[in-house]
Amino acid sequence: MGIIQAIFLFLRTFILGRAATAIENLALRQQVAVFKQSVKRPRLRPRDRIFWVLLSRLWANWRSALAIVQPETVIQWHRQGFRLYWRWKSRARKPGRPPVQREVRELIRRMSRENPLWGAPRILSELLLPGYQAAERTVAKYMVRTRKPPSQNWRTFLANHVPDIAACDFFTVPTVTFHVLYVFIVLRHDRRRVVHFNVTDHPYAEWAGPQIIDAFPYEAAPRFLLRDRDGIYGDHAS
């Protein structure tokens, strides 16, 4: 057998092998086309989905051979598998937080009971000195809660001290000539009675101070005087 004959046989075998593969692919594609016309939605098993997901990662032209579903469906399968994998990997080994040792709990209660003025940060710093590890929220959770005397609210304070409370304020009055007058008024809270008022067109601190003295002569000033933080009263008015 000569070299030319051997090359001819090799090319014939190669061409016939390629032709047979092409014919086989054509036959398979024709059957798939018939299958797509007869079946609206094929049923795929989990291993079928895994096969196409792996094939899409290993073969660049996998879309050209895909006929049973859309390529976007295979990509969606891959994303679902990715989420399931990380959900399994990040699952909690044991539910809940690790329990706090009984010795640490008793020590927190003892320190908070013997030092009622200590807060959670101070107790935590004391626990770290001998080597106990805990979080500030854990310390606050196991601290002994002491009952504090109830404090009165603002409405209760006003009701209890209404005879000793007066209030002062300014309001403006426009005139016919388009000037603005400032009216200073002092009011007692016990009877809602106006005890003093005055009018000026240039209010300032040196003018407002004597008005309080004129409103409460003969040492009859109330214990509490309510006012706002207007600059008319001055920077250091009390």
> pLDDT, tens digit, for every residue of 25-43?
666 666 666 666 666 666 7
Q: What's the whole-model pTM score?
A: 0.36
25, part of any domain? yes
116 and 167 co-located in one domain: no
194, part of any domain? yes
Q: What is the mean pLDDT of residues 99-121?
A: 87
164, part of any domain? yes
181 and 110 co-located in one domain: no
Phi-psi region of 151 (alpha: psi -120 to 50; beta: other; left: phi over 0): beta
pLDDT band for 186, please (50, 70, 90 cuts).
very high
Paired with 172 in beta bridges are 182
83 and 114 co-located in one domain: no
User: Going by C-beta distance under 8 Å and a sequence separation of 6 or more, which residues neighbour residue 177?
Assistant: none
pLDDT band for 1, please (50, 70, 90 cuts).
very low
201, part of any domain? yes
97, part of any domain? no
32 and 79 co-located in one domain: no
Higher pLDDT, 50 or 24: 50
206 and 177 co-located in one domain: yes
What CA–CA distance (Å, rounded) separates 9 from 2? Answer: 11
Strands of the 165-174 sheet, one edge to the other: 193-200, 180-188, 165-174, 224-226
Helices (H), 129-225: 136-142, 154-160, 205-215
Provide the domain count of the chain: 4
4 and 53 co-located in one domain: no
* Residue matched to tokens 């030092």: 115
| Residue 131 lies in domain | 102-142
Instruction: State the amino acid at position 98 in one-letter form.
Output: P
52 and 34 co-located in one domain: no
What CA–CA distance (Å, rounded) separates 199 from 207? Answer: 10
Residue 223: the pLDDT is 86
For 158-185, how does the pLDDT look when each residue is reduced to its tens digit (9 = 90+)? 788 888 889 999 999 988 888 899 999 9
DSSP state letter for 232? G
